[in-house]
């Protein structure tokens, strides 16, 4: 099993190019990030080339987090801002290159928001073409209260309605366990729609070596389903301690 370091959480005390080098030194096979836009893409690309790592994905802008925004693409009336964020993310991904863009929905609800999200996702997919996969991710209400996309059922329905081959589900086991549980069955049922998988312990969102999820079992099942892409490690390091990557060699052997 291969693993990607999510540099939004891991090695986050370093500049992004330095974090890429740290991920390589720690034994990760790939990297991914949240919002890299403050760093010139040329610097990130150079670090990727130096380490031989692939950037799996990045997020569209949240908008203005200081007023509680957590994405723009499902917000009625903000279509121009959403498309600008999509354009920014796809262009940055192309410059690296990165393989996927996570289009963030934002905090909203209702049928109009769903229509807006579907229209913006269709725009993102058509703009990206074959070069970039577009991802959507359900977020749990404990960590992201009010977020539009809140279940795998809702996400699957949107993916089917948008009907673009490059629109996929980001299956974050941490979020799915907190939203609805039964993660192994959901992986089995949703596998054709899944574009990326992420992991962290539940409920503390720490390293995936403790908590209520037996990741040895989940990852073995995922492997048995034919998954060969790197799994994203998106977990919060324990404050005041050295980053725990002891799980990496154990799970890499699965």
Q: What is the DSSP string of 228-242?
A: -SPEEE--PPPTTS-
E strand or H helix that includes residue 179? helix 173-179
Contact yes or no for 60/89 (Cβ under 8 A): yes
Burial 24-34 (b: 16+ CB within 10 A, else e): beeebbbbbbb
Would you call 23 helix, strand, or coil by DSSP?
A: helix
SS3 content of the chain, % helix, strand, coil (to 5): 40, 15, 45
Active-site residue (options: 49, 50, 137, 228): 137
Would you call 227 helix, strand, or coil by DSSP?
A: coil
Active-site residue (options: 43, 153, 234, 238): 234
Would you call 211 helix, strand, or coil by DSSP?
A: coil
Asked about 153 being catalytic, the answer comes back as: no
If one counts every other C-beta atom within 10 angstroms of the C-beta of residue 204, the result is 13
Helix pair angle (41-51, 79-95), 10° resolution: 40
Q: What is the DSSP string of 104-138?
A: -B-B--SHHHHHHHHHHHHHHHHHHTTS-EEEE--
Q: How far is CA 92 from CA 11, 58, 182, 189, in A?
A: 21, 9, 35, 33
Q: How far is CA 53 from CA 120, 194, 248, in A?
A: 30, 22, 16
Residues taking part in catalysis: 137, 234
């Amino acid at each position: 099993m291969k693993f990607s370091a999510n540099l939004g959480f891991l090695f986050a005390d370093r500049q992004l190019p330095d974090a890429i080098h740290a991920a390589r030194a720690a034994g990760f096979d790939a990297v991914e990030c949240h919002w890299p836009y403050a760093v010139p893409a040329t610097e990130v690309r150079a670090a990727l080339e130096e380490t031989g790592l692939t950037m799996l994905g990045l997020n569209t802008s949240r908008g203005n987090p200081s007023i509680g925004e957590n994405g723009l693409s499902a917000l009625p009336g903000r279509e121009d801002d959403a498309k600008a964020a999509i354009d920014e993310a796809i262009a940055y991904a192309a410059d690296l290159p990165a393989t996927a863009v996570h289009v963030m929905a934002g905090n909203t609800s209702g049928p109009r928001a769903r229509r807006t999200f579907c229209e913006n996702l269709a725009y993102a997919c058509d703009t990206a073409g074959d070069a970039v996969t577009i991802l959507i991710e359900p977020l749990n209400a404990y960590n992201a209260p009010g977020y539009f996309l809140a279940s795998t059922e809702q996400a699957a329905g949107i993916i089917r309605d948008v009907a673009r081959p490059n629109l996929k589900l980001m299956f974050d086991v941490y979020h799915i366990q907190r939203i609805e549980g039964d993660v192994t069955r959901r992986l089995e049922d949703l596998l054709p729609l899944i574009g990326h998988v992420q992991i962290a312990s539940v409920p503390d969102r720490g390293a995936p070596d403790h908590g209520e999820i037996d990741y040895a079992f989940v990852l073995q099942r995922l492997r048995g389903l034919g998954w060969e892409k790197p799994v994203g490690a998106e977990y919060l390091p324990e404050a005041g301690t050295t980053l725990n990557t002891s799980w990496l060699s154990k799970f890499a052997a699965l």
